[in-house]
């Protein structure tokens, strides 16, 4: 999952042989190195301008799953780049702590306790966002739950929870803020919907069938929504992270599949991405010029096939 806060566009010149050769020089600088380094300074400045995410300043973002992991990291980074952020999740105490942290750092955030599996809760949360921050122009669906178990176990309770959170929950948030995104784009502003899916939408892991199905649904939903939103200048980005160090693994109640079993073995063998690295990617895609839509991104630890 990963574009890590480095160069976007241009190139990093770190070795002398990488610096373009000059055909001419001057008596004081026969090799033309002053021109080379002038070009290098210009390239570096352009790169810095690109990664400053200045286009995020003044935007209004809604981030679900903001109590921890990718959601919290994304909210923190968007706020650091000048966006007003509505923090949505069930654990209000954590949201208040994060909002206070953001405010201390000079940002603007509100904590909005929302259960995405409950339509009334989503409606109330959206009303509060509108009342306190106004219309949203950036929505990140980062809420999710991963509860793997063999299909033979028949854990209908887990199936329902994953479908309600990972699919229907995302749809409830999209429903709540579609009008905002469309209106923002219509007045010429940048409008973004970012869905955090998973490499599980494509990769096959025993015991993860229902989780994978929900993420495949979210990935396909994102693709289909582009046919509806794209013509109205609303961007839709689907991000599929691989192994990432978040709380999801701690929710697994099957020792053979969780941190003490297969999942832990994968982390040990392949390494993992961090929530901050996924946040960095979200900030990057949403800070591109409004006519540029990075629509589908798969990001993995280098060792993960």
Report pLDDT digits (tens) over 284-304: 999 999 999 999 999 999 988
CATH (domain of 278) = 3.40.50.720
Q: Is 221 within the bounds of a domain?
A: yes
- Given a contact cutoff of 8 angstroms between Cβ atoms, the answer to whether 193 and 225 are in contact is yes
Q: Tell me if 133 is assigned to some domain.
A: yes
Cα 107 to chain centroid, rounded: 19
Asked whether residue 79 is assigned to any structural domain, the reply reads yes
| 211 part of the active site | yes
- For residue 199, pLDDT beyond 80: yes
> Is 189 part of any domain?
yes
pLDDT tens sequence across 46-70: 434 444 456 899 999 999 999 999 9
Q: What is the chain's Cα-based Rg?
A: 22
Report yes or no: 281 and 242 within 8 Å, Cβ to Cβ: no
Residues 6+ apart with CB under 8 A from 166: 143, 144, 145, 211, 214, 215, 217, 218
| Mean per-residue pLDDT, 74-89 | 98
CA distance linking residue 82 with residue 56, whole number of Å: 6
Which residues constitute the domain of residue 87?
49-299
pLDDT at 159 exceeding the cut of 90: yes
The predicted structure's pLDDT at residue 261: 73
Number of folded domains in the chain? 1
Output the CA–CA distances (angstroms, integers) from residue 58 to 55, 101, 237, in the order listed. Answer: 8, 19, 20
Kindly name the residue from 3, 159, 211, 229 that is annotated as catalytic.
211
Residue 49, both tokens:
């301008």
Are the C-beta atoms of 137 and 192 separated by less than 8 Å?
Answer: yes
Q: Do the Cβ atoms of 10 and 47 come closer than 8 Å?
A: yes
Q: How many other β-carbons are positioned within 10 Å of the β-carbon of residue 246?
A: 24
Q: What mean pLDDT, rounded, does the chain reach?
A: 85
Given this model, what pLDDT does residue 154 score?
96
Does the residue 28 lie in any domain?
no
Q: Can you read off the two tokens belonging to residue 242?
A: 């691989």
Examine the pLDDT at 138 and tell me if it is beyond 60.
Answer: yes
Task: Find the distance separating the first CA and the last CA of the chain, reported in whole Å.
Answer: 13
Q: How confident is the model at residue 172 (pLDDT cuts 50, 70, 90)?
A: very high
Q: Is the pLDDT of residue 28 over 70?
A: no
Distances from the Cα of 208 to the Cαs of 204, 259, 264, 296, in angstroms?
A: 8, 14, 15, 22
Q: Look at residue 12 and tell me if it is in a domain.
A: no
Share of the chain above pLDDT 90, in %: 69
Q: What is the model's pTM?
A: 0.81
**Other residues' Cβ atoms within 10 Å of the Cβ of residue 56:** 21
């Amino acid at each position: 999952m990963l574009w890590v806060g480095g160069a976007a566009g241009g190139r990093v010149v770190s070795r002398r042989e990488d610096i373009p050769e000059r055909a001419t020089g001057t008596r004081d600088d026969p090799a033309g190195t002053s021109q080379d380094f002038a070009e290098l300074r210009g390239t570096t400045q352009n790169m810095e301008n690109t990664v400053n995410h200045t286009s995020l300043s003044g935007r209004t973002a809604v981030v679900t799953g903001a109590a921890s992991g990718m959601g919290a990291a994304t909210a923190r980074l968007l706020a650091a780049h000048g966006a007003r952020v509505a923090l949505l999740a069930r654990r209000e105490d954590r949201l208040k702590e994060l909002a206070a942290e953001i405010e201390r750092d000079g940002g603007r955030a509100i904590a909005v306790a929302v259960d995405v599996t409950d339509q009334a809760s989503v409606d109330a949360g959206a009303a509060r966002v509108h009342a306190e921050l106004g219309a949203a122009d950036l929505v990140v669906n980062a809420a999710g739950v991963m509860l793997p178990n063999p299909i033979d176990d028949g854990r209908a309770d887990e199936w329902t929870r994953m479908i309600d959170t990972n699919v229907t929950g995302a749809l409830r948030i999209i429903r709540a803020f579609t009008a905002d995104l469309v209106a923002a784009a219509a007045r010429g502003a940048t409008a973004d919907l970012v869905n955090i899916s998973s490499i599980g939408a494509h990769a096959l892991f025993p015991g993860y069938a229902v989780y994978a199905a929900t993420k495949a649904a979210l990935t396909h939903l994102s693709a289909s929504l582009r046919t509806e939103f794209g013509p109205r200048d609303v961007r839709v980005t689907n991000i599929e992270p691989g192994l990432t160090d978040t709380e999801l693994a701690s929710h697994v109640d099957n020792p053979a599949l969780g941190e003490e079993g297969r999942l832990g073995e994968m982390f040990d063998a392949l390494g993992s991405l961090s929530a901050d690295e996924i946040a960095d990617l979200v900030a990057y895609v949403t800070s591109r010029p409004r006519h540029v839509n990075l629509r589908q991104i798969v990001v993995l630890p280098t060792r993960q096939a």
